[in-house]
Amino acid sequence: MSDFDPHAIEPKWQARWEQDGVFRVASSPGGRRFYCLEMLPYPSGRLHMGHVRNYTIGDAVARFERMRGRDVMHAIGWDAFGLPAENAAIQHGEDPRRWTERNIAAMRAQMRRLGLGYDWAREIATSDPAFYRWNQWFFLRMLERGLAYRARRRLNFCETCATVLANEQVVEGRCWRCDQPVRLREFDQWFLRVTAYAEELLDGLEGLEDWPDKVRTMQRNWIGRSEGARVRFAIEGGECPIEIFTTRLDTIYGATYLAVGAEHPELADLVRGRPEERAVRAFVEEQQGQSVEERFAEGAAKLGVDTGRFAIHPFSGARIPVWVANFVLTDVGTGAIMSVPAHDERDFAFARTYGLPVVAVIHPEGAAALDGAALDRAFTEPGWVAGSGPYSGLSSAAATRRMIEDAERAGFGRLETVFRIKDWGVSRQRMWGTPIPVVDCPVCGVVAVPDEDLPVELPTDAPLTGAGGSPLAKVESFVRASCPRCGGPARRETDTMDTFVDSSWYYFRYLDPRNERAPFDVASASDWIPVDLYIGGIEHATMHLIYTRFWTRVMRDLDLVAVDEPVRRLFTQGMVIKDGAKMSKSKGNVVDPDRMIERFGADTTRLFCLFAAPPEKDLEWSEAGVEGCQRFLARVARAFERAQPKLPVPGTAPPRALDGEALALRRKTHGTIRRVTDDLGERMRFNTAIAAIMELINQAGPLTERDDASAGRDWALRETFEVLARLLAPLAPHFAEELWQRLGGEGLVARAAWPVADAVWLVVDESTLVVQVNGKLRARLIVPRGCPESDAVERALREPAVTAQIARGRLARVVYVPDRLLNLVVS
């Protein structure tokens, strides 16, 4: 690009931005604020092109809003705890702190090389005790309010990562981190009571109008509110009853057996001392030896064992057998179901496998009662009730209402709303995470570490082997503690917190990252929250984005924030793919950002990421496309260098009247301002904004090649290049700064005001007429819209390039398309 060499100009302007503090967050009294946030990266050591795309989108928006006069919050940090650092330490015998710090330094350098405009003074790392101290502080506040608690549960356990996983971290039965099978194991674990906010989290989705519908649907389904009835079935023989939850109480007369999950808490007592005990125990052990995916995969065989016990139907008094079945999830509903084979597909398949009765009690409207024995599949729709005592003849809805009323009156059932979402299991049996700030005292029980003793810091000598439970449990100096209440010997908790705790509130810490008295300043949160724009992958819809909404409500109830929702607008960018697949080392299709910057420069790399596809769509990597963006910047540079000697000095007033090409260029310039402003605003259509800028240089470029003097044209060209520098500033910021400086622009273009389109020049009453001679382009004319043919020909014959061709013959015919084309046919 001539002397617009990216390897020369990019470091220069990065240093200047740093020197002048361009991206330090300003907070003007009464100023308009804009919080632009991208999901913080895990410090793996290398940025990938997905990172580059994500952060380039955010940087373009932040720069644009800053030029529009807003005070912009744009900061970055590092999601620095987690398994990869610990696994690297295990594999290479390296301290995870050093591994993490080295990776952060490498990735920070890459971000700076891309010219990302962050306020680096606000940088945080979640592995810093100054940060995770506040994780512990929040945990203690939740413990005080009953939102944090410890319980023994069967939980998802990844053998490879040697840690418990939350339900959201199990994807199709496999660990979200290592993709290995997950099994159920019993543990004492710490939980956060997300279910206390389930109703709020669900209802709040209605107000998130600027979130993608797909994300809201995913969260709605994950939270999963169901309204139904909890019904108690007595067990013959007097043991504890079994409770079920059902959304189809209208089908209860069709229940021919109960099914309990393999982990149901009453199952062992139910079969103890009975002939069936051995078979049931063997079945349970077999189920617990399988992965979550094997047990609960859709289409898996429906298997079970008869317990030999009977339940008493609460409405009819009939005896129905109790089975243990592999398709019943203990953590869904009550861990037991009433099985209605005629009206549920799973129950039907199980009943046919084991020869259990199928009794139809619902039939379609206007149809005769169904014969359960003759069904080849379950009828699952609501309809009209039959064979159900006093409820026969009612609609499903009416029967449900009557049944609930009667069950409540009789004391064996009640109306209930349940949620699919479960409390968040935050315990992890790993070292590289936030220590849970409690001790176990044999006298006092679980006792919180006092606030003044925070942070509970990680030891530096934990043995990292990846086996045998938490590494912290093996550090005697860490485990040994004194009870804060009685002063006696106590044992420190050795589990660490799920890293999603860190990401639930990190962006509040950006507001006040050095505060030693509180997690953040309440006034700052009031100024900046909710976040105006949050950019990240849709894969976080049912983990991070639910957890951060929960955490914000907890902070609201602690009087730290005054909002329910933390993010006004969520934007989920598409993936970067190559050869039809997401980039990954295993596929061998990874593109190294450093190599791209070395070859093409940061601006070209950024420009391609913004231009190649709408930001919400997947971007197919193409080096030809990158080269095209490089050629575009080179074309702008060459056009400017041709024009520069002829441009009037900055501040020169425009000529009294512009006409012809100068007038057309000015109209195009102001039209481009309007288009780019619209595209970079709420629409975030970077690709079409860049296309509009390309059109502008296509029109301006040929004018820079003209040798004849024209004050109007030269003035219009200066205006165009000044506008181009500002329009390119969010997109190719180093190039834009260089262009602005060479134009004699005042200060830095990053601090320049965004151009405003003058409505006067947006009214188009002229058109560009292409003039051909025998079908070959000879000139372009700016003519009044609707120009008569005779006037168009007269104007064309004034053009030297046209008259030179006409002189070689005679004008035989004229082809005229008003406002578009004039073709002079010469014979």
pLDDT tens for each residue of 62-89 = 999 999 999 999 999 999 999 888 888 8
Three-state secondary structure call for residue 305:
strand
Candidates 609, 574, 575; CA nearest to 730 is 609
- CB atoms near residue 196 (< 10 Å): 18
Query: Which CATH architecture does the domain made up of 597-762 adopt?
Result: Orthogonal Bundle (1.10)
253-262, 342-351, 779-788: the lowest-pLDDT one = 779-788
What pTM was computed for the model? 0.87
The answer to whether 757 touches 670, Cβ cutoff 8 Å, is yes
pLDDT for the residue numbered 463 = 86
pLDDT value for 148: 98
Cβ neighbors of 477 (< 8 A, separation 6 or more) are: 459, 461
Mean pLDDT of 605-612: 97
**How far, in Å, CA of 738 to CA of 9, rounded?**
7
Architecture, CATH, for domain 6-125+506-582: 3-Layer(aba) Sandwich (3.40)
pLDDT value at residue 198: 97
* Cβ-Cβ contacts under 8 Å for 470 (sequence gap 6 or more): 429, 430, 431, 494, 495, 496
**Would 597-762 and 766-826 be classified into the same CATH topology?**
no
Please measure the distance between the N-terminal and C-terminal CA atoms of the chain and give it in whole angstroms: 44
Residue 764 is predicted with a pLDDT of 66
Question: What does the pLDDT read at residue 588?
Answer: 81
Reported confidence tier of residue 2, pLDDT bands at 50, 70, 90: low
The answer to whether residue 620 scores a pLDDT higher than 90 is: yes
Q: Residue 28 — φ and ψ, nearest 5°?
A: -75, 140
**Residue 296 above 70 pLDDT?**
no
Name the band, by pLDDT with cuts 50, 70 and 90, for residue 293. low
Judged by average pLDDT, the poorest of 165-174, 244-253, 791-800 is 165-174
Summary mean pLDDT of the chain: 92
Question: What is the Cα 805 distance to its own chain's centre?
Answer: 62
Q: What is the structure's pLDDT at 584?
A: 76
pLDDT above 90 for 330: no
C-alpha neighbours within 13 Å on the C-beta side of residue 221: 8
Q: Under a CB-based contact definition with an 8 Å cutoff, are residues 496 and 435 in contact?
A: yes
DSSP-derived secondary structure letter, 749: G
Alpha carbons 373 and 544: distance in angstroms, whole number:
48
Q: 372-379 — which CB contacts under 8 Å span 24+ positions? A: 372/254, 372/341, 372/342, 375/342, 375/348, 377/345, 377/348, 378/341, 378/342, 378/343, 378/344, 378/345, 378/347, 378/348, 379/342, 379/343
pLDDT at 17: 98
The answer to whether residues 476 and 6 touch, using CB atoms and an 8 Å cutoff, is no
Q: What is the pLDDT of residues 436-445, one digit of tens each?
A: 999 999 999 9
How many angstroms separate the CA atoms of 767 and 782, rounded? Answer: 6
Mean pLDDT of 314-321: 96
Query: What is the pLDDT at residue 3?
Result: 73
Which among 137, 127, 117, 124 has a CA at the least distance from the CA of 72? 117
Q: Where does the pLDDT of residue 159 fall: very low under 50, low under 70, confident under 90, or very high at 90 and above?
A: confident
pLDDT tens-place string over residues 741-774: 999 999 999 999 999 999 887 776 678 899 999 9
Q: What is the reported pLDDT for 785?
A: 80
- Predicted confidence (pLDDT) per residue in 458-487, tens digit: 998 888 876 667 899 999 999 999 999 999
Q: Is the pLDDT of residue 1 over 60?
A: no
**pLDDT, tens digit, for every residue of 684-698?**
999 999 999 999 999
* Rounded average pLDDT over 403-426: 95
Q: What is the CATH number of domain 225-419?
A: 3.90.740.10
Contact between residue 156 and residue 288 where contact means Cβ atoms under 8 Å apart: no
Q: 583 pLDDT exceeds 90?
A: no
3-state secondary structure 612-674: CCCCCCCEECCHHHHHHHHHHHHHHHHHHHHHHHHCCCCCCCCCCCCCHHHHHHHHHHHHHHH
pLDDT tier at 273, thresholds 50, 70, 90:
very high
pLDDT at residue 192 is higher than 80:
yes
229, 415 Cβ separation under 8 angstroms: yes
Note the pLDDT of residue 333: 77
pLDDT of residue 168: 62
Of 86 and 309, the one with more pLDDT = 309
654: pLDDT strictly greater than 80: yes
Q: Of the CATH numbers 3.40.50.1100, 1.10.3720.10, 3.10.20.590, 3.30.230.30, which one belongs to the domain with range 766-826? A: 3.10.20.590
Tokens at 143, concatenated: 């413990």
- CA distances 19 to 10, 437, 561, Å, are 14, 42, 34
Q: Which of 584, 654, 652 is nearest to 621 (CA)?
A: 584
Give 410's pLDDT tier (boundaries 50, 70, 90).
very high
Is the pLDDT confidence value at 164 over 90?
Answer: no
State the DSSP string of 574-585.
Answer: PPEEETTEE--T
Report the percent of the chain where pLDDT is more than 90.
76
Query: What is the residue extent of each domain of the chain?
Result: 6-125+506-582, 135-193+425-497, 225-419, 597-762, 766-826
More confident residue, 184 or 227: 227
Identify the bridge partners of residue 228 per DSSP, sorted by sequence position. Answer: 416
Residue 599 has pLDDT above 60, yes or no: yes
User: Closest Cα partner for 257 from 325, 330, 163, 175?
Assistant: 325
